[in-house]
Amino acid sequence: MASILDRYGIKEVADVTFYKIGADGNPAEPVLFLDTLKVSTIEQTAESVDARGGKGNPKLITWDYGKEITVNIEDALFSPKSMSIMLGDGTVAKTTAVGGEDVQRTTVIRINDSGEPQNYFIADVYDSATKGSVRKKVFMGAGAAPAGMVPFESAGITLKTAVSEDGKVIDSSFTASEWSSAFSTYAGQKVFVTYTVKAIKKTITVSGDTFPGTYYVVGDTYSRSDIDGSDQFFQFIIPKAKMSSENTITLEAEGDPSTFNMNLTVLRPEDGDMMKLVQYDLVGA
């Protein structure tokens, strides 16, 4: 039988599960499972105050108070659900309309010095062969589309507005055959072309009056014995953890991929047990 004085090391990151908190304070249904974490840390801090006296005014008695436990999680990947828990109220709205919903995009075209626009613009369009999106040149010239371009009529795109670089709105109800004449008075300029495409969306709304929630959190990892090198299960249980409202998402062209951080503050539940650390071995029935 293992002794409580046996020694173990911990290196492996934890898999973390978030649960809703039931009316009785126990975990209800799970809402998020994270098994792609890079880092999961638990930090405990507290404040103290001392009674001092006598020659040299040394410390005589110390009182500890204000215990705080924080959990910091860094995930290599994100999901719409994890993003909604990080940034909002945990709600993800999905498209239910047949045929999808409109997504608005904007691209830029150039008008040459003679008032002729380029005969295409770049857009992400649906590709029926791959059942996904591809970036294509959408052909807006006369005649058949050249190789590597997709005709405007079959691209699933609706033109919304065209705005010149000096802020003038150009009528965008033109068809491909009217493309050249629409821009004839804007020689030498760039034009912002805004369009919509149909898509299935997962929307996370971040508003001024919604904030991340409070969850029952369980993390599962391993501890390794210093005697025989065997691994044992190790689990931390946090009955009441408040997700921080502060977060940063980094988008950059170089360097490592973005990671996604969740910072949690451990709150005191009704029974006073803020966290449990459990080391366990499985046993037969």
Q: Encode pLDDT of 108-146 as tens digits.
A: 999 999 888 888 989 988 888 788 888 989 998 878 888
In the chain the domains, ranked by start, together with CATH numbers, are 8-92+206-280 (2.30.110), 101-203 (no CATH)
pLDDT tens digits, 97-106: 888 999 999 9
pLDDT band, very low/low/confident/very high, at 29 (cuts 50, 70, 90) = very high
Q: Which of 145, 150, 148, 153 is nearest to 175 (CA)?
A: 153
User: For residues 89 and 148, what is the distance between their CA atoms, to the nearest angstrom?
Assistant: 44
User: For residues 65 and 156, what is the distance between their CA atoms, to the nearest angstrom?
Assistant: 63
Give pLDDT, residue 2: 67
User: For residues 17 and 216, what is the distance between their CA atoms, to the nearest angstrom?
Assistant: 8
Q: Which residue has the higher pLDDT, 241 or 284?
A: 241
Element (H, E) at 47: strand 37-52
Element (H, E) at 180: helix 179-182
Q: Could you give the residue ranges of the DSSP H alpha helices within 38-109? A: 80-87
Give pLDDT, residue 44: 93
Give pLDDT, residue 254: 85
Assess whether pLDDT exceeds 90 at residue 248: no
Percentage of the chain modeled with pLDDT above 90: 49
- What is this structure's pTM? 0.81
Assess whether pLDDT exceeds 60 at residue 1: no
